[in-house]
Structure 1
Amino acid sequence: MKHANIDFNDAQQVATGFLMPAYYNVEATVYQTKYQAFDYARYLPVITEGSEWARGVLFRSSDIAGKAEFLSGKGFDMPYADVSRDQHLKGFELAGIGYEWSLEEVQTAALEGRQLGNEKAMAARKVAEKRLWDIALTGATEKNWTGLINDGNVPAADVAANGTGSATFWATKTPDQILADINSAITGIYTETKGTEIADTLLLPSGVMDLLSSTRLTDTGMTTLAFLRQNNAYTARTGQPLLITEMFELNTADPGGDGRAVVYARSPDVLRFHLPMPHKFLPPFQKSSMTWEVAGIMRTGGTEIRLPKAVRYMDGLIDNS
């Protein structure tokens, strides 16, 4: 029996000719898909400006010093104002997650007249978004980065120990005591910054979100959460709604693992997530005789809290013992 000769190089050329248009169809489909579970842009201003390949971002901060005093008539004792300046550099880093296609997968799809499946591309995209989500929230230990919920420069303290048995846990407190804890944190930012910043966002552990939405204020007929949305220090001062949302990562975020809430001003002047290069796929290249790789790359500088005094951590909210 005589076997036909198989031109392996021709098979590769056919595969390559099929692969490129298939890749662009897959890429377009993947970037139409949204991953709401990793929506870090909801909590942080995402900065994508500037060059994708910049080493980082340089910014300067300044403060004024001096005091006007009474003078003698001759003016030899004139006080002077001065300005202090600080320079800060936030570096960017390259990260990546991609996928690959084998010759068998490509040839089979071409033979059957169908597009290559987008499952691998969607998986890579979702893994990339999950990584950016984790960096935004808690940083990256290998880069010595912290995130939105664990920055060491942010003021952090247990809430008042006035619950049952002098506990801090909100499950042991009355709705009025819980509301006092929250408004104290909002007012604390306003007072500490002398009115220049006011918190407009409250992130809660999922456990206490359930508590507030199910506990009723008996004299109002409203749940604690509904009452808080209408009556809080931010809304009272601005007339604008306070953003209140939950985050599972906060259930064990405080140093003792007892739950943390975050109150902050959601403004790029206060904090930001650097993403000069959102995740993107590079064109496929043949990395072996039977495999094509699609590299996926991104560059980020993580979360930067520029004004830590405009952020507060409230700890000791949940008994996780």
Structure 2
Amino acid sequence: MPMTFDQATVDSTGAFLVHELERLDQTLNLPLTSQTWSRDIELREDVSIADEMSSFTNTTFAAAGTPNANGKNWINQLSTAIAGLNVDIAKTGFPLELWGMELGWTVVELAAAAQVGRPIDTQKYDGMQLKWNMDTDEQVYIGDAVKGAKGLLNLSQVTPTNATKTWATSTPDEIRASINQVLSNAWVRSAYSKVPEDLLIPPEQYSFLASTIVSSAGNQSLLTYLETNTIAFHQNGKPLNIRPVKWAIGRGVANADRMVAYTNDKKFVRFPMVPLQSVPIQYRGIYQLVTYYGKLGAVEPVYPETLNYMDGI
């Protein structure tokens, strides 16, 4: 008969007293969580654990025309004063914050958990990975108030606009108009150079779009309809990528729900990260300890004018 332990003695190792007529399901049921950061933003992977800052530059050109300063650069064969070009390069930097967690167990706990097929070291590693992804998820979408970092949904460089009414009280045409408006605003801000390709909305609004039928034949949801019936599809040549994100709930002014239009491309916006690393396992008496560490930056809006927010949807 295998050795077993009662719950009060070694509950933390995952070993329990199993009765003769008890059928224990050996499946490990981890906490229910959802992290979508890897879906919604591309990583800047050139940063290293030695870096303390991540930065980028934006270049601005200035050129005066001749003879009209606001016109073209006309010259003639006898010109002696020819206008030149001015270049200004501005640097923007964000701190790379060190993240770490120490995992530890005793050799007794390790033996007890291994005997029942639930190694404590593997479980703690899974828990640490879960915390890393949860922290990264929050950092990507809303940043960190203590560190003063901003995320994809609350960038200070983007001024939100307000919807005329909530989607729940809007017709399909009014919803389409509000989406076209948030896309158009970003298009205008970028000097008509880029229409956003991606749209993040709260889960409730996403469910509303998916369940609302717009075709008289009843064969097309509003969500599917909007993917190909906005300026994004006609300008970019591909469907608008509409996705739900829980962090958009109450993220707007006065706790209103927020919609963000952007392009998920590291050319426009990205997130610097140094993946988790570990030090060699350390032994202290009967304890085994291992430390994992990595670095999380802040969302880099290289071209903030390509993003736009709308609150109150």
Could you tell me the TM-score, scaled by structure 1's length? Answer: 0.78
Given that residues 162 and 310 in structure 2 are in contact (C-alpha distance below 8 angstroms), is that contact kept between their aligned partners in structure 1? yes
Question: 2:233–2:239: 8 Å Cα contact kept in structure 1?
Answer: yes
Q: How far does residue 260 in structure 1 lie from its aligned partner after superposition?
A: 0.3
- Distance apart, 1:179 and its partner CA: 0.4
Q: 2:310 aligns with which of 302, 309, 314?
A: 314
Residues 163-182 of structure 1 aligned to structure 2 (within 5 Å): 168-182=165-179
* CA distance in 2 between partners of 1:44 and 1:113 (Å): 40
Secondary structure at the aligned position of 1:293 is classed as strand
1:69 and 2:73 aligned: no
Secondary structure (helix, strand or coil) at the match of 2:194 reads: coil
Per-residue deviation, residues 13-47 of structure 1 (Å, max 9, x unmatched): xxxxxxxxxxxxxxxxxxxx9x9932312111111
2:113 is aligned with 1:116? no
What residue identity is the alignment partner of 1:201?
A: D
User: 1:97·1:128 contact (CA, 8 Å) conserved in 2?
Assistant: no
Q: Tell me by how many angstroms 1:219 deviates.
A: 5.3
2:206–2:244: 8 Å Cα contact kept in structure 1?
A: yes
Counterpart CA distance in 2 for 1:142 and 1:128 is: 17
2:85 maps to a residue whose letter is: A
Verify the 8 A CA contact 1:98 1:281 in the aligned structure 2. no
Matched, 1:145 2:145: no
Contact 2:195 2:236 (C-alpha < 8 Å) held by counterparts: no
Establish whether residue 302 from structure 1 lines up as the match of residue 298 from structure 2.
Answer: yes
Q: Give the residue type in structure 1 aligned to 2:303.
A: L
AA aligned to 1:298 is: G
Q: Distance in 2 between matches of 1:220 and 1:202?
A: 27
Give the share of equivalent positions with the same residue, in percent.
21
Distance 2:153 2:194 in 1: 19
**1:189 to 1:109, Cα distance in 2 relative to 1, 3 A:** closer
- Residue in 2 that maps onto 1:39: 36
Which aligned runs of 4 or more in structure 1 are off by greater than 6 angstroms?
Answer: none
Q: Deviations over 1:54-75 (max 9, x none)?
A: 1223322211112323368653
After TM superposition, the structure 1 stretch with the greater mean CA deviation from structure 2, 259-268 or 298-307, is 298-307
Question: Would you say 1:193 and 2:190 are equivalent positions?
Answer: yes
Q: Is the 8 A contact 2:95 2:298 kept in 1?
A: no
The 1:214–1:313 alpha-carbon spacing in structure 2 relative to 1, beyond 3 Å, is same
Aligned equivalent of 1:282? 279
Does residue 103 in structure 1 map to residue 101 in structure 2?
A: no
Deviates most, 217-226 or 59-68? 217-226
Name whichever structure is richer in helix by fraction: 1
2:210 corresponds, among 206, 209, 213, to 213
Q: CA–CA distance in 2 between the matches of 1:202 and 1:93?
A: 28
Match of 1:293 among 286, 289, 293: 289
Compared with structure 1, are the counterparts of its residues 104 and 72 closer, same or farther at alpha carbon in structure 2 (3 Å cutoff)? closer
Instruction: Provide the alpha-carbon RMSD of the alignment.
Output: 2.4
Superposed displacement of residue 217, structure 1? 2.2
Q: Which residue of 1 aligns with 2:25?
A: none
Q: TM-score, normalised by structure 2?
A: 0.80
Structure 2 letter corresponding to 1:268: K
Pair 1:242-2:240 in alignment = yes
Report the counterpart of residue 13 of structure 2 in structure 1. Answer: none
Provide structure 1 residue ranges, at least 5 long, that are not aligned to the other structure: 1-32, 162-167
Give CA-to-partner distance per residue, 1:249-291, whole Å, 9 cap, x none. Answer: 212111211200110011112111100x2123332212x4232
Structure 1 residue 292, shift from structure 2 partner: 1.7
Structure 2: unaligned runs, 5 residues or longer: 1-29, 68-73
SS of equivalent to 1:302:
coil
Matched-pair contact (CA < 8 Å) for 2:56–2:91: yes
Counterpart position of 1:254: 252
Instruction: Label 1:214 to 1:95 Cα distance change in 2 as closer, same or farther (>3 A).
Output: same
| Map of 1:56 onto structure 2 | 53
Alignment partner, residue 7 of structure 2? none
Give 1:228's aligned residue.
226
Asked if residue 87 in structure 1 is aligned to residue 101 in structure 2, the reply is no
Q: How far apart, in 1, do the equivalents of 2:60 and 2:248 lie? A: 34
Number of residue equivalences: 274
Deviation at residue 178 of structure 1 after TM alignment: 0.8
Q: Which amino acid aligns with 1:264?
A: Y
Residue deviations 1:164-215, cap 9 Å, x none?
A: xxxx211111110110110111122222212322200000111111111122
